[in-house]
Amino acid sequence: MSEMEDWALVERAQAGDLDAFAQLMSRYQRPVIHFCYRMLYSEQDAEDIAQEVFIRLHRYLARLTPQAKFSTMLFGISRNLCLNHIRDMKRRGRGMGQSLDSQPELVSTGSIPSHEAQLKELEGRIADAMATLSAEHRMVLHLREIEGLDYEAISEIMKCRKGTVKSRLARAREQLRQLLINQGDDLL
């Protein structure tokens, strides 16, 4: 996804072209939903919050200028909305554990070929371990490992210094590594 193409679409959307806005959504809906899912661990909540991300994006269209990367800005909105949602859930006594949908990674192996089933199980174990980390640690891991963003972009999204990104990533990885080793996992 080229940055220039993103901003060309933003420019058209700013002029009221809903088709251009739909194209932006089509480019980014998957990464935004995936990010929200890793933060909230509920497919339904992830979908709802991702919709809200794009509604919020549309509201701010007129104020957008290509000073930052479009994806960085979009993940910044996603981060804010996810943290708000987590805070609201806590306030209403609904912990993240209660929002866990059936984990897509942990599927019945009945009709799935053995190799694919093993991969799914592997993903499920990693995802379960990741779910035990704090929201900030899940976020930094997702942005680095899944989105492949560099420390500079992550620091912009998380509103912190590059040094903080570095130390959070190191701590998150170490926690995850320890967790898998303590579980006697053979993944590492």
Binding-site ranges for another protein (CB under 8 A): 18, 21-22, 25-26, 29-30, 33-35, 37-38, 43, 46-47, 50-52, 54-56, 58, 60, 63, 73, 76-77, 80-81, 84, 87-88, 91, 104-105, 122-123, 126-127, 130, 141, 144-146, 148, 150-151, 159, 166, 169-170, 173-174, 176-177, 180-181, 187-188
Residue 4 or 188 having the CB closest to another protein: 188
Residues 96 and 158: beta-carbon distance below 8 Å = no
Residue count (the chain): 188
Residue 12 or 56 having the CB closest to another protein: 56
Residues 7 and 66: beta-carbon distance below 8 Å = yes
Residue 184 Rama label (left phi>0; alpha psi -120 to 50; beta): left
Residue 1 or 146 having the CB closest to another protein: 146
* Residue 114 beta carbon to another protein: minimum distance, rounded to whole angstroms: 18
* Residue 59 beta carbon to another protein: minimum distance, rounded to whole angstroms: 8
Instruction: In whole angstroms, give the CA distance from residue 72 to residue 91.
Output: 28
Instruction: In whole angstroms, give the CA distance from residue 63 to residue 94.
Output: 35
Residue 8 or 124 having the CB closest to another protein: 124
* Residue 107 beta carbon to another protein: minimum distance, rounded to whole angstroms: 11
Instruction: In whole angstroms, give the CA distance from residue 84 to residue 168.
Output: 20
* Residue 25 beta carbon to another protein: minimum distance, rounded to whole angstroms: 5
Residue 14 or 51 having the CB closest to another protein: 51
* Residue 101 beta carbon to another protein: minimum distance, rounded to whole angstroms: 8
> What stretches of the chain show up as alpha helix (H) in DSSP?
3-14, 18-40, 43-59, 70-91, 114-131, 135-141, 151-158, 162-182
Residue 117 or 180 having the CB closest to another protein: 180
* Residue 42 beta carbon to another protein: minimum distance, rounded to whole angstroms: 10
Cα–Cα nearest to 7, from 70, 63, 60, 90: 70
